[in-house]
A and B are shown apart, each in its own frame.
Chain A
Amino acid sequence: MPPKSILKKTTVVANQPPPATDDRPVNKKHLEVALHHANIIEQRKTAEREVLDSIITLLDFPESPDADPRRPSSSDALRFSQAVAPFQPADYDSLIEERNIAAKCGYALCPRPKRKAPSAARKQFVDTSHGVQIVDKKSLEVWCSDDCARRALYVKVQLNEEPAWLRQGSHGDKIELMVENSEEHHKALPLRLKEPADSKKPADREEEDVAAAWAAHDDALADLAIERGEKPGRLSKANKDLIQDKIRERVAATPPEPPSLPKDTIFQSHMAIEGHIPRSSKSKDENDDDDDGNDAQDWDKHMG
């Protein structure tokens, strides 16, 4: 007598697509949908891997130990702004977190170590222009200076909330930097300002104007950042504020998921051991395509 299958025949049949002769168009459509989802998952994996690679690169940034975050070299600036362009704000937070763990200033164009709080206390007193303020030790130890905080957050507010793998025409994602040597960068960096209409101006006048316009533009964007809740040196708090404004949009931006049944115990029963479902598998509903509700069968007794 051949051994019995451990799976109930009925459930196996129920899981299979309808016979091919019935509904060819439907099957084809299913296939397309499945392919579409597979593609999105693939794109997502690739994008996530790229973000990780960029963060690893930016961990050891900038290469020169005496680089100046206010006046970065144009190659550093270009590499940095291109690396973070696909980032979501949360990815950027991860970059800062990882740099901080490596004891570095959170701003990737800064080679200095992060600031150290004067004491080990969880809350710290800090002198500001508004008088003494109490801040978290953690937020104090994110940057080397308030200046770097400002420049780093200026980048963050430009990041797209939408995941890179769902963005349309990602070539539009250009990140501008807050720099004081813009004249060295305006060829490499995206230049938003139009060329002055009067092109007969002497070249140096023109350079000055562009630099001034950039500076004004920088200030305006920095003001915007503050208005949007980004405060220098208060990253995590500010981050929350920023995201809350956009929560509805982000919901729409989550990757589509295949429909799933409610998280029912029967549904999870293939994970059960003696009727008990280990905790880690309860919350996950992947691989739920097998409905073998009754697997605890003694089909092994011949095996010894």
Chain B
Amino acid sequence: MSDVSMDKVNKVYENGFHAVKDMSLDIADGEFMVLVGPSGCGKTTALRMVAGLEDITSGILRIGGKEVNDETPKERDIAMVFQNYALYPHMTVAQNIGFALKLRKLPKNELDAKVKEAAGILGLTDWLDRKPGQLSGGQRQRVAMGRAIVRQPSVFLMDEPLSNLDAKLRVQMRAEVARIQRQIGVSTIYVTHDQVEAMTMGDRVTVMRDGTLQQVDTPQNLYDSPDNIFVAAFIGSPAQNLYDATVGEGARSIKLGSQDVELPESVVLKRPGLRAYAGKEVVVGMRPEHLRAESSTSTGPKIVGEVDLVESLGSELVVHFTIDAHRVIAEGAVDKDEAAALQSGEGVARVEAKTPVKPGDRVTFSVDIEDMQFFDPKTGLAVRG
């Protein structure tokens, strides 16, 4: 068990592609760190550099305080779960799990005991004599996990280990992987492109984009106070409503399309930086649950939108609406289809299940203005202090 520290780590591939740029990240002993970001942002590259499967172009990688740049995966004492599991097809489940221990010349009875213990933790006891070809996807995934945990390594590395499972199994395994990690308490770096996985599993989450680290924080902090527009758009489902807006004189209101939204004093007090934006453009972010379709008698800031579509999830309604403000799309944070739908200025609100809304209605949403997020349109950075 050890902490992992990356200090200005870079990766430039032979073809000149700069895949990871000045990445500095500290993972505490026993911590579950999730690396999340859109496909191609360099997560796998970063993970493979920690594993020792990819050379580090520049920067320093330390495990347990010791520089390990030039060490082999074996010397680093890491264990890895691969996206396609990479099980040995000619070995049984028991042999797969025990392979690393066998190479370390562990006595047979000790090896068997450890394999049994790992299999027990993963519910694989009945499958020990099967070959990987005879297992389901979920079981193979468990074998891959078993191969990693049986060694009690310094660091666990997992590259999208659940992405080949169907949706239901994925949710189940999500909880299970997190539970096992806590049970054995090994520092873990877990790569995923799925922000829901990141939010539900990680002690902390690192968001990456185009090889650059965007923000490292707890899931809640990422959600509540993203450092920039990209993180704001990437984290959360349905995605946050981000619009171009103009701050009114004296920062007392926000002009959102043709609508004026009142800005209480308290909001500006919490974010004194906003004052400098008076009369200037800003990007505002509103989480879908911060828009409420309440009775029109309530006071406070409001926006009016025209309803396009209502999706009932049973527990709540997801209301898609349009306002005449320009929607901001952080490239790469949402997929292309979604981005196209957003062009029109569409927003999303999550409202109570019984709310009487239907497509074509003009609905007044009251805005939880204290939770509104503000970003500089040029730098994309959050406006706070």
Q: Do A and B come from one complex?
A: no
Spell out A's residues near B (CB within 8 Å): none
